[in-house]
Amino acid sequence: MSKRWPGKYVIGLTGNIATGKSVVRKMLEHLGAFSIDADALAHQTIAKGGPAYAAVVKLFGEWILTPEGEVNRARLGRIVFSDPEALARLEAAIHPFVKQATDLLIKRAKAPVAVIEAIKLMESGTAQDCDALWVVHVPEAVQEGRLVEKRKMSAAEARQRMAAQPPQAEKVKAAAFIIDNSGSFEDTWDQVQAGFNKITAAQAPAPEPVQPAAPAPSGAKTVKVRRGKPSDAAAIADFIKLATAGQRALSRGDVIAAFGDKAYMVADYGGQLGALAGFKVENLVARVDEIYLLGSVPLEAVAAPLFEAVEEASRQLQCEAALVFFPLSTAQAAAAALAGSGYAPIAPEKLGVDAWREAAKESMPAGTGLLWKKLREDRVLRPV
């Protein structure tokens, strides 16, 4: 057990850029761990209204800002990743706030296992507070290919980013557990499960949030909600195809890959799968960007229990707000079905916190309306 966080077993998760740390963190989340993306917290600190925003603007000048006053991270990145001294100054402005937030989040987490993902976990000293260091590794050619394909960098930019980091071999040498993420999602999943099972063999895993059966009026069908697992991938793929009348046909492999980015909550209606919500939690904001419903299933019957289960899972990760994106054709009915649960329609620009507005802008699919709900009053990263 961690000396810094009594009662918690804390995994420090690291690896160089584009090795797939976030995928591994999401896998640990599916297994019941409380997870923190320290790099995302760092982004929050420099968001407009964040605690390090003013200091970073003072350090690098207002020209790093967008017309809306947000820090242009791509522009800032070009500066700091070509100048080690500039990078050190940026980190000195950000890291104290990230450390404070990490400390607070782990102390109040309910799960007995926590994971901190950070690209500079060792350099910041955080690894020393963890019970085990996990390192995600891929060959450099795979790193470069992912940066070019997924982040749209040029090959030269990708190599510059890679060169700005300490050699991956140093992390691998220090690791208690190494994950080879150069294969398939399932290969990586098997490794993560094996590592997690060793930890939980001597301690009870965190309880999985499951929504109990919703009470049903006389003659109505009961609703049971549970969190989907990667083993449900084939059933989820089949359900999405059925619910969209074949307009969205996914393979089991497509859904397995999606588990590296999000989670699924599935609602059983009268003994069969009737509704499905795909959601992810980033920067302490839950975003539901996939909703599927069989035509024979009434929305008002499944909406509240389904989204209560999403909320509970999000609260376990200490989310501040939940954003739900419904197709415009059903947004009005969804708002009515969820009105008693505290959700309200809102335009993204009307959200009262910069980080929430940014989350809505990043995640909102075309042709959808937004419902939102505040999940907690206090905020982890407040302006100072």
Q: Which CATH architecture group holds 211-374?
A: 3-Layer(aba) Sandwich (3.40)
Burial class (CB in 10 A: 0-12, 13-18, 19+), 275: buried
Task: Supply the pLDDT for residue 310.
Answer: 96
pLDDT in tens, 17-36: 999 999 999 999 999 999 99
Chain-centroid distance of CA 227 in Å reads: 15
Residue 281 identity (one-letter amino acid): V
Tokens of 310: 């999403």
Percent of the chain with pLDDT over 70: 94
Helix boundaries (H) for 183-338: 185-200, 233-243, 252-258, 299-316, 328-338
Query: pTM for the full model?
Result: 0.85
- List, for residues 253-295, the tens digit of each pLDDT value: 999 989 999 999 999 999 999 999 999 998 889 999 999 999 9
pLDDT at res. 384:
44
| pLDDT at residue number 203 | 56
H/E element holding 215?
none
Q: Is the dihedral of CA 298, 301, 304, 309 positive or negative?
A: negative
Contact 364, 325 (CB under 8 A): yes
Q: pLDDT tens, 337-347?
A: 998 899 999 99
pLDDT tens, position by position, 210-239: 455 555 555 568 999 999 998 999 999 999
HEC sequence for 103-158: HHHHHHCCCCEEEEECCCCCCCCHHHHCCEEEEEECCHHHHHHHHHHHCCCCHHHH
| 3-state SS assignment for residue 71 | strand
Low-confidence ranges of the chain (pLDDT < 50): 204-207, 210, 384
Is 9-200 in CATH node 3.30.930.10? no
Listed by start position, the domains of the chain span 9-200, 211-374
- Residue 205 has what pLDDT? 45
